[in-house]
Amino acid sequence: MVDDSLIKELKEMREKGPGEPSDALKMYEFMKQLGQENDELKEELEDMDKLIVQMEVTDIDYKYWVSFGDGAVDYGEGVSDEASVTMKASQATWAGLASGDIDSTSAYMSGDLVIEGNLQDAIAYGEVLGLAMELGADLLE
């Protein structure tokens, strides 16, 4: 079951707006827990080959990585040497993407979101993230 205190923190973050860049990791913890209990997300993660995405917040030099596939979600601060794609944006762009105020395709086309490496992996990342947020939306209401 997704931890109630984590749900509360995510709701507060959504209301207050962006806080620390490391707050993004709480969203991935939510996905990790959700993937352990939601059959649809669990099946999607089991059917995927492992995918590691490197994230960079360019204006404050903050880096973290996210891994999906082989039945699990994992994440951590720093740099992953195994990432197949790197996504870079400013703190404001990441906040807008997280809140839904900014569309990822528009951000990419305008250059506000820079994607280096395997574009297919970036698309797969977006699809899994979207599925998890859709499946977990009721918990975050």
| pLDDT tens string 33-89 | 999 999 999 999 999 999 999 999 999 999 999 999 999 999 999 999 999 999 999
Q: pLDDT at position 18, please?
A: 64
Identify the domain containing residue 36 by its residue range: 4-140
Task: Over range 104-122, report the average pLDDT.
Answer: 95
Q: Best-predicted range by mean pLDDT among 8-12, 15-19, 51-55, 96-100? A: 51-55
How many domains would you assign to the chain? 1
Q: pLDDT at position 1, please?
A: 78
Using pLDDT thresholds of 50, 70 and 90, give the confidence band for residue 12: confident
- pLDDT of 17 over the 80 cut: no
Q: pLDDT at position 28, please?
A: 94
Q: What mean pLDDT, rounded, does the chain reach?
A: 92
Q: pLDDT at position 99, please?
A: 77
| C-alpha span between 59 and 38 (Å, rounded) | 36
Half-sphere exposure of 70 (CA within 13 A, CB side): 5
Return all residues near 13 (Cβ < 8 A) that are at least 6 apart. 19, 23, 26
pTM: 0.90
Which CATH number fits the domain that encloses residue 8?
A: 3.30.1050.10
